Amino acid sequence: MTVRLAHVNQVRADSNRVFELRVYHAVPGKVPALVSRFRDTASKLLAKHDLKAVGYWVPEDAPASDNTFIYILAHPSREEAKKNWDALRADPAFQEMAKSEQAEKLLEKVDSTYMQPPDFSPMK
């Protein structure tokens, strides 16, 4: 009986889980620099602030392969996502990295989309 109740509580705890699709539109030709930035610095800062990356991708085909970097984050809820993003933005290491990105002119824009899996999705 206790095991069954623990499972029910876990399902309820996960019911607000959301995923965030982030598409970075890089200055053409700057995707390798952006990938390096994520490999060396950004991914560690995301993890430090409980922003859990599901994966990172670079499109294979042109023209997107020249200027697009994609990743997905998993959040326990929208509220937790906001709290964790606010903490990241307040981190001096992140602020330094953001200034460097602006100086190097890596990005044109960032699109962020929060997504909720439907009941039949294998990833919840």
Average predicted confidence (pLDDT) for the chain: 89
Domains of the chain (ranges plus CATH)?
Answer: 16-115 (3.30.70.100)
Q: Indicate if the pLDDT at residue 38 is higher than 90.
A: yes
Q: Nearest 5°: phi and psi at 38?
A: -70, -40
- Residue-wise pLDDT for 78-116, tens only, equals 999 999 999 999 999 999 999 988 888 999 999 999 999
Q: Indicate if the pLDDT at residue 8 is higher than 80.
A: no
Where does the pLDDT of residue 6 fall: very low under 50, low under 70, confident under 90, or very high at 90 and above?
very low
Q: Which residues contact 25 (CB under 8 A, 6 or more apart)?
A: 67, 68, 107, 108, 109, 110, 111
Q: What is the pTM of this model?
A: 0.84
